[in-house]
Amino acid sequence: MVDVTPDALAGPQGPKPRKTFSRRNIFLYGTLIMVALYYALPLYVMIITSMKGMPEIRLGNVFSPPVEITFAPWVKAWSEACTGLTCEGLSTGFWNSVRITIPSVIASIAIASVNGYALANWKFKGADAFFTILIFGAFIPYQVMLYPIVIMLREMGLYGSLSGLVIVHTIFGMPILTLLFRNYFTSLPEELFKAARVDGAGFWGIYFRIMLPMSVPIFTVAVILQVTGIWNDFLFGVVYTRPESYPMTVALNNIVNSTQGVKEYNVNMAATIITGLVPLTIYFVSGKLFVRGIAAGAVKG
- Is residue 256 involved in binding another protein (CB under 8 A)? no
- Is residue 196 involved in binding another protein (CB under 8 A)? yes
- Is residue 205 involved in binding another protein (CB under 8 A)? yes
CA-CA distances (angstroms) from residue 197 to 125, 140, 188, 205, 282?
A: 19, 38, 15, 9, 37
Least separation in angstroms between CB 187 and another protein: 14
DSSP secondary structure code for residue 214 in this structure: G
Least separation in angstroms between CB 195 and another protein: 4
Cβ closest to another protein, residue 156 vs residue 195: 195
CB-based contact 221:298 (threshold 8 Å): yes
Secondary structure class of 160 (helix, strand, coil) = strand
Least separation in angstroms between CB 214 and another protein: 6
- Is residue 210 involved in binding another protein (CB under 8 A)? yes
Cβ closest to another protein, residue 154 vs residue 194: 194
Which of 65, 132, 154, 199 lies at the binding interface for another protein (CB under 8 A)? 199
Cα Dmax for the chain: 104
Least separation in angstroms between CB 136 and another protein: 23
> How many amino acids of this chain bind another protein (CB under 8 A)?
16
- Is residue 126 involved in binding another protein (CB under 8 A)? no
Cβ closest to another protein, residue 15 vs residue 200: 200
Q: Where are the alpha helices (DSSP H) in the chain?
A: 23-50, 54-58, 72-79, 91-121, 127-137, 142-156, 162-187, 190-198, 203-205, 216-232, 235-240, 248-257, 265-293
Per-residue string for binding with another protein, 212-241, x by CB under 8 A? -xx---------------------------
Which of 197, 263, 288, 300 lies at the binding interface for another protein (CB under 8 A)? 197
- Is residue 198 involved in binding another protein (CB under 8 A)? yes
Cβ closest to another protein, residue 24 vs residue 209: 209
Cβ closest to another protein, residue 199 vs residue 244: 199
Cβ closest to another protein, residue 24 vs residue 197: 197
Q: What is the DSSP string of 93-117?
A: HHHHHHHHHHHHHHHHHHHHHHHHH
Rounded to the nearest 10 degrees, the angle between the axes of helix 91-121 and helix 127-137 is 150
- Is residue 192 involved in binding another protein (CB under 8 A)? yes
- Is residue 189 involved in binding another protein (CB under 8 A)? yes
Least separation in angstroms between CB 211 and another protein: 10
- In the chain the first and final C-alpha atoms are separated, in Å, by 69
Rounded to the nearest 10 degrees, the angle between the axes of helix 248-257 and helix 265-293 is 150
CB-based contact 151:145 (threshold 8 Å): no
CB atoms within 10 A of CB 147: 10
Chain residues in the site for another protein (CB under 8 A): 189, 191-192, 194-201, 205, 209-210, 213-214
